[in-house]
Amino acid sequence: MSNKLELTWVGKNEKINPEPRILLEDIEKSYGDPQTENMLIHGDNLLALKALESKYSNKIKCIYIDPPYNANATNVPFDDNIEHSFYLSLMKCRLEILVKLLKEDGVLCIQCDYNEMAYLKVLCDEIFGRNNYVTMVTVKTSSESGVKVNANKPAKVSEYILIYAKNKDKMVYKPIRIVTGYDKNYSQYIINPEDNYNEWQYANIKDILAQQLNKAKKDLKDEELRTFQIDNRDRVFSVRDISDSLKKYIKDNGIDKNIAYEYTTSTGKKTLLYKNGEIVFVKNKVYEIDGKLELTKIASDIWLDIPWDGIANEGGVTLKNSKKPEKLIQRIFEGFTDEEDLVLDSFLGSGTTCAVAMKMNRKCIGIELRRTMLFYE
């Protein structure tokens, strides 16, 4: 018995070593700038990856793959019922090449569902090293109201994205911001921000906005409040809780809680204390997203906000029951890539990954087995 912790299956150690092939350009289908490295490859991805191996090893910044979930789905246009050991062998030899293609600071993201997630996790631990496991994101892919009633188990509304780094110490992640609605915690408004903070006068944003719009507070819409927060981001704030020791400091020094008081922390950071808390302006949450100022929050490892409805025709391409929203891929690229980086999807399907890459000025290589998904004949 092997003395290391590993996943085993029938055929695991059988060598699958395809002959390297040469990629042939189909001149009729090529268009645009011949200097870009963008490529759509039609064929089995094992052969294609083997063909890419010598030129593209250590070149790819982000690989997103969305292989068949092996969920025995009959409503998808590809084989989704592969014998389990065979599925693992297929994935293993492809992942072994994919890891070589990644740059030292590159990442792999694999989308899957509950059927193979745990097996893919252990397989990737073995190939990337458990220490290079970054995280797993859970994505809500349908609404509870839209799922079919299944008497046997809770309805499936989620999928997973396993994220692995080639070398976690080198990987760079830029925190992803997601758009939120009106944030009721940011309810306070400074009437005279031009004055010194100890002369500030305060009001509730609902009182000010109701007055401005000449309507009752109860009739204010969340969208109106959200816009008000963004437009007044330098004077709308919330009072964040502070430590008990700071509360004691306020009490012991007889500081008036109703007047803003500047306090310098032990690290030299200046904060304004008010009402037994710290003033935090809403401007810290306002970011430009897709060219528009928005209220945002940092994305967690549960993505509930990406709309799946209405993506069937996104990009003018259909792929029944398997297509991923462009917003999802955009979020991954925002977090893990920069402009001009090279990205790859070896289970390209309808081409979502390449479409997003091109919109975001990333270079991309896409591989797909089924010709009908790649080309309009």
Ligand X SMILES: C[S@@+](CC[C@H](N)C(=O)[O-])C[C@H]1O[C@@H](n2cnc3c(N)ncnc32)[C@H](O)[C@@H]1O
Q: Is 32 helix (H, G, I), strand (E, B) or coil?
A: coil
Instruction: Among 52, 60, 66, 97, indicate the residue that binds ligand X (CB under 6 A).
Output: 66
* 40-59 residues near ligand X, rule: CB under 6 A: 44-45
Q: What whole-number distance in Å separates Cα of residue 94 and Cα of residue 123?
A: 11
String of DSSP letters for 92-153: HHHHHHHHHHEEEEEEEEEEE-TTTHHHHHHHHHHHH-GGGEEEEEEEE-S-GGGSPP-SSS
Q: Does 333 bind ligand X (CB under 6 A)?
A: no
Please pick, from the candidates 106, 277, 335, 349, the single residue that binds ligand X as defined by CB under 6 A: 349
Report CA 12 to chain centroid distance, whole Å: 32
By CB under 6 A, tell whether 68 contacts ligand X.
yes
Token duo for residue 363 = 């270079």
Shortest distance, CB of residue 232 to ligand X, whole angstroms?
40
CB count within 10 Å of CB 287 equals 15
CB 176 within 8 A of CB 163: no
Q: Closest CB to ligand X among 70 and 296?
A: 70
Instruction: Give the residue, chosen from 97, 343, 367, 374, that forms a contact with ligand X under the rule CB under 6 A.
Output: 367
Phi, psi of 73 (to 5 degrees): -75, 135
Specify the stretch interacting with ligand X by CB under 6 A; choose among 179-187, 207-215, 238-246, 369-377.
369-377
Q: Considering only residues 70-109, where is the footprint of ligand X by CB under 6 A?
A: 78
Nearest to 330 by CA among 312, 313, 307: 307
Q: Which stretch binds ligand X (CB under 6 A): 64-72, 119-127, 251-259, 300-308?
A: 64-72
Length, in residues, of the chain: 377
Query: Among the candidate windows 51-59, 189-197, 260-268, 365-373, which touches ligand X by CB under 6 A?
Result: 365-373
Does residue 174 bind ligand X (CB under 6 A)? no
**Residue closest to ligand X (Cβ):** 349
Q: Least CB distance from residue 257 to ligand X, whole Å?
A: 54
Out of 56, 160, 186, 347, point to the residue binding ligand X (CB under 6 A): 347
- For residues 188 and 208, what is the distance between their CA atoms, to the nearest angstrom? 10
Among residues 170, 184, 359, 370, which is the contact residue for ligand X, using CB under 6 A? 370
Pairing of strands 302-303, 270-274: unpaired
Q: Is residue 236 a contact residue for ligand X (CB under 6 A)?
A: no
What ranges in 176-221 are assigned the alpha helix state H? 205-213
- To ligand X, the closest distance from the beta carbon of 46 in angstroms equals 6
Please say whether the beta carbons of 88 and 124 come within 8 A: no
| Residue 206 is a binding residue for ligand X (CB under 6 A) | no
Q: How far is CA 219 from the centre of its chain?
A: 36
When binding is defined by CB under 6 A, the residue of 70, 187, 322, 337 that contacts ligand X is: 322
CB closer to ligand X out of 294 and 314: 314
> In angstroms, what is the minimal distance from the CB of 67 to ligand X?
6
Residue list 209-228, contact with ligand X (CB under 6 A): none
Q: Are 261 and 199 in contact (CB under 8 A)?
A: no
Residues lying near ligand X in the complex (CB under 6 A): 44-45, 66-68, 78, 319, 322-324, 347, 349-350, 352, 367-370, 373
